[in-house]
Structure 1
Amino acid sequence: MKAGIQINFIPGRERGAVLVVSLLLLLIMTLLGVSSMQTTTLQERMAGNTRDRAVAMQSAEYGLRDAEGFIESIVTTGAFNGSNGLYGENDTDPDIADPTTWGSSDTTPAASSLAKTSAPPRYYIKLSGIIPGTQGAMNMSGYGENKGTGDVTTFKITSRGTGGSQETEVILRSHYGRAM
């Protein structure tokens, strides 16, 4: 006689339990794989949107700096007459929520644009008024120095920047003062 393991095979008793268990495990692994792919796709979209918003923010900040440069270059406020993105004290501000505002002559495009933006930043400047030096002299040159005594002309700058698409936008507002 041969020594060893004897396997008893009884026909009709197999019911395919191994097949059913393996198919269930395969189904569970497939569901886990699909779920992880969806999570990864969502995270990639979120990262892309965050990057697009950061580009829009940088673009809007660039528009503010461009407007400040314009203010520093002017000699008089005579051009603030309600056209070409320059508004006087009594002019009505454009509607910043209206998308057509940012494509019209109500605003001024920045001199150039940043890479990967869908459009150059646009801004408008409103003359806020003049603060006389005697009513609260402003320290225009930095902290810790003597306050100046001259009049300060103040401006309100509103800038809009876009990201890689027109749907991603950031609108910033800044107040800027300059002795004229």
Structure 2
Amino acid sequence: MNKALHPVAAIRRQQGVSLLVVLILLLVMSLLGIAVLRSSALQERMSANMVDRNEAVQAAETGLVVAQATVIKGTFNAMWNGSTTYTALRTAGGLTCANGYCDRSDPTNADTWQTAPDKPATWTTMANGARYGFTVEYLGNAKGESSEVRGVCNTSSAPRYLCERPMFRVTSYGRGRGVAQVVLQSNIISQPQ
């Protein structure tokens, strides 16, 4: 004999299934929502770190430009005609190795080989809140002629300023508004202003 289920009995057997399906869908949607929130929070942190790093790089680059423009082409520009030395200019300006102006011109002379500080003595804050500082090391005179005068340095009557160029190493430190720090270093063979 065929036993057909009564419609009321069939409905009673399915009442718990719909609740279970809804709970599973709610759980899946909650997990997806949490994953999206975590992803967006991570992307926000990554973009903030990138901005901070870019600010630190720009600050360090600014330090290099300032050191070249104001220190090397400014304070130490008088070295070109040979009338003064790096040590004399540094002493007259009260610039010591402790505050970032070191002499490394003669590696065989222990008096001129000074250890540069591992961070700048003074920091300059930029408009965006990033900071920079730099150290300048005098490396001695580089031999060579400029593109304007060729063959002159091979003669004994060549002017010293055309054939000897003061050489410096500038180490620039940049810090962003957060925790990013950047160190850039550049060797500069200066030219008269």
Both structures adopt the same fold (TM-score exceeding 0.5): yes
Question: As a proportion of its length, which structure holds more helix?
Answer: 2
CA contact (8 A) 2:97 2:117 kept: no
**Gaps (5+ residues) in structure 2?**
1-5, 80-85, 105-112, 153-161
Kindly provide the amino acid, as one letter, of the partner of residue 48 in structure 1: A
Kindly provide the amino acid, as one letter, of the partner of residue 177 in structure 1: I
Give 1:114 deviation, angstroms.
3.8
1:57 corresponds to: 57
Aligned residue pairs: how many?
153
Give 1:125 deviation, angstroms.
0.2
Looking at structure 2, the residues matched to 61 and 152 of structure 1 have their Cα atoms a distance apart, in angstroms, of: 23
Match for residue 86 of structure 1 among 98, 101, 109:
101
1:45 corresponds to: 45
Q: Superposed, which structure 2 residues align to 1:126-137 within 5 Å?
A: 126-132=137-143, 136-137=144-145
CA contact (8 A) 1:108 1:124 kept: no
Q: Superposed, which structure 2 residues align to 1:159-170 within 5 Å?
A: 159-165=172-178, 167-170=179-182
Aligned-pair Cα RMSD in Å: 2.3
Kindly provide the amino acid, as one letter, of the partner of residue 137 in structure 1: E
TM-score by length of 2: 0.70
CA contact (8 A) 1:109 1:121 kept: yes
1:66 corresponds to: 66
TM-score by length of 1: 0.75
Kindly provide the amino acid, as one letter, of the partner of residue 122 in structure 1: G
CA contact (8 A) 2:142 2:189 kept: no
SS at match of 1:26: helix
Kindly provide the amino acid, as one letter, of the partner of residue 170 in structure 2: I
Give 1:12 deviation, angstroms.
4.8
Kindly provide the amino acid, as one letter, of the partner of residue 86 in structure 1: Y
SS at match of 2:163: coil
CA contact (8 A) 1:59 1:114 kept: no
Kindly provide the amino acid, as one letter, of the partner of residue 101 in structure 2: L
Looking at structure 2, the residues matched to 51 and 146 of structure 1 have their Cα atoms a distance apart, in angstroms, of: 45
2:186 corresponds to: 174
Structure 1: 4+ residue segments shifted above 6 A? none
